[in-house]
Structures are given as C-alpha cells and as structure tokens.
Structure 1
Amino acid sequence: MEHTFYLDAHWDGGRNSTGTIEAGNLKQSISIPKEMDGPGVGTNPDEMLLGAAATCFLITYAAILERAAIKTDALALASEAIVDVTNNVFTFKQIHHRPTVTVFDASQIKKAEQLAFKAEQSCMISKAVARNVQITVEPTVQSGASVE
C-alpha cells in the first residue's frame, strides 16, 4: 500500500523573497533563515527537515513503547540540527534527538532506553536521510517514583 502526499508552494521573487507552502494541515510562510542572510520569515527547509525528523522519531518512539507495553507518564523531545557552511556550500550534517521519558515501572527504564535507539532506526525520515545526515539519540528515562 502506498500513501501519496501533496504540497503546493509559491515563491514571490529572488533569493531573499518569501513564499508559502500548503500540504494538508500545514500552511506556512517560508524564506531563508536570518542565520543564512535571508529575511527569516516563517519557517525554512532546515527547520522543516528537523521537524520532520523529530516528529517522526517521537511518534515512532511512542508507538514502540506502547507495543512493548511500557506505560509512560510523560514523553518529551528536544532535537537540534547542525548545518555546516563551507565555501558557501550548505550541508545538513547532524540531528541530535534527546527524548525524556517518565515510565511508571522503574524496572522498564533500561528497556525504554534501548527502544529509543530502535525508534531512530525504524523512523521513516531517519531512514530517508541515513546516508547523508548523522542522527544520534541520547535518551533520558526515569521512573515516576524518582520524579520530584
């Protein structure tokens, strides 16, 4: 079974212009980020790739934890992307995911940590960029009993 997704994009001019994208529920202004000498309006490809990788990882991790019957009280994610600029060539180099999970049962901490790495390997976006972008996962898993 295949799923098809569509995106419509419009651009207002040259390099430092702005545009819009629309894909299903995603409706957003776009431009080059200020960090790359653009206008910094709306989002940009770097944020969208990081967002795609992060949301894919987070949803995959939640599903894997559920299938493993690990009940969580909280699941959060902080992710960052590193883009290298050498000789005016922009290269998306790395993504770091730092999930934080609170599990109900302290005996499941180790398993929940292991499943974070499985989630990264199983995520569709991670697999799509695997040859070009280094992805790391640094999980923090704690039990609800240890949370103050």
Structure 2
Amino acid sequence: MNILYSTRVAATGGRKGTIRSEDGILALDLAIPKELGGMGGATNPEQLFAGGYAACFENALLRIGRQAGHRFADGNVEVVAQIGLSRNEADAFMLSATLFVTIAGVDQATAEELVRGADGICPYSNAIRGNVAVAKSVTVR
C-alpha cells in the first residue's frame, strides 16, 4: 500500500491526560466528560473523532460533488458528526455515529446520491464500516 500521509500523536494520562502530535501542532488537554462522571472542561476522544469524521466526510462530499459537476461555495455544505458512546451486551464500550449533512443548491435525490458517493471514499467511513453503526440525515436548503 502506498501511504499518502502519516502522522503520529502520543497520548499520556488516558482520558484525563494530554495528546501531542509529533510536530507539536496538535497539543491538547483531555478530560472525562461530566456526563461520564468526569470534570469536563477539556476535549475528549469522542469530540476529536467527531471533528475528524465531519471534516473528512465534508471533503469527500466536495470531491464527489466536483466530479459530478457541482461546485459548492463555502457554506453550501455542512457536515455535523454526532458520536455516541455506549456499552454492548458484553459490557464493552461501543461507538455509534450520525452524520447530519446539509447541502444547498441541489435536490434531495442528488444530495442523497452525493452523500452515498462520499461515504464510499471517506477514509473514516471506510475505517468504521461494519463495526460502528452510522446513520445519515441529508437535508437540502
């Protein structure tokens, strides 16, 4: 496999520690969310995953749109990722995801087709397919 990009991020202290990328650009404190009994006040792995998934999926959507002849202006496409943390029957932690996609300038059928195409090329979607339940909500405006 030809790797196009690689990065390294070190975590220290688990969910209430820190993360730092090898180039120092990403350097964040982590905190357990209040909803999970923590103090909150800093980001957590689920928020980081949601941000990465939303950004990556939107970029995939813009690419699929361009290939289909649609040129979306900034603000015409928005992707919000909601990541859930729960437990399964074996008491193991599990993630779920919902992508809320809003697209301006196309009809509903076209928007849904573009989202299906983006789902096929997004690295996050491909990485979690078959392991994480992902729902998609597509809205046109």
Q: TM class by shorter-chain length?
A: 0.7 to 0.9
The yes-or-no answer on 1:76 pairing with 2:78 is yes
- Structure 1 stretches lacking a partner, 5+ long: 143-148
1:110 Cα deviation from its structure 2 partner: 2.8
Cα distance in structure 2, aligned partners of 1:55 and 1:109 = 22
Residue identity matched to 1:123: C
Aligned-residue RMSD, C-alpha? 2.3
Residue identity matched to 2:66: E
Match of 2:102 in 1: 100
Match of 1:29 in 2: 29
Cα distance in structure 1, aligned partners of 2:114 and 2:48 = 25
Match of 1:146 in 2: none
Cα distance in structure 2, aligned partners of 1:34 and 1:95 = 20
Match of 1:127 in 2: 126
1:83-119, Cα deviation, whole Å (9 max, x unpaired): 2136764221x2111111112xx5x653232111221
Identical pairs, percent = 25
What is the TM-score normalised by the length of structure 2? 0.80
1:137 Cα deviation from its structure 2 partner: 1.6
Match of 2:138 in 1: 139
* Residues 70 and 109 of structure 1, relative CA distance in 2, 3 Å threshold: farther
1:51-80, Cα deviation, whole Å (9 max, x unpaired): 222221111111111221112241112221
Contact 2:97 2:135 survives alignment (8 Å) = yes
SS at 1:128 equivalent: helix
1:5 Cα deviation from its structure 2 partner: 0.8
Moved over 3 A (4+): 85-89
**For this pair of structures, how many residues does the alignment match?**
134
Cα distance in structure 2, aligned partners of 1:133 and 1:111 = 26
Bigger CA radius of gyration: 1
Cα distance in structure 2, aligned partners of 1:8 and 1:50 = 19
Residue identity matched to 2:17: G
1:3-53, Cα deviation, whole Å (9 max, x unpaired): 221112222xxx7x7321122532211122211112223211111222222
What is the TM-score normalised by the length of structure 1? 0.77
- Structure 2 stretches lacking a partner, 5+ long: none
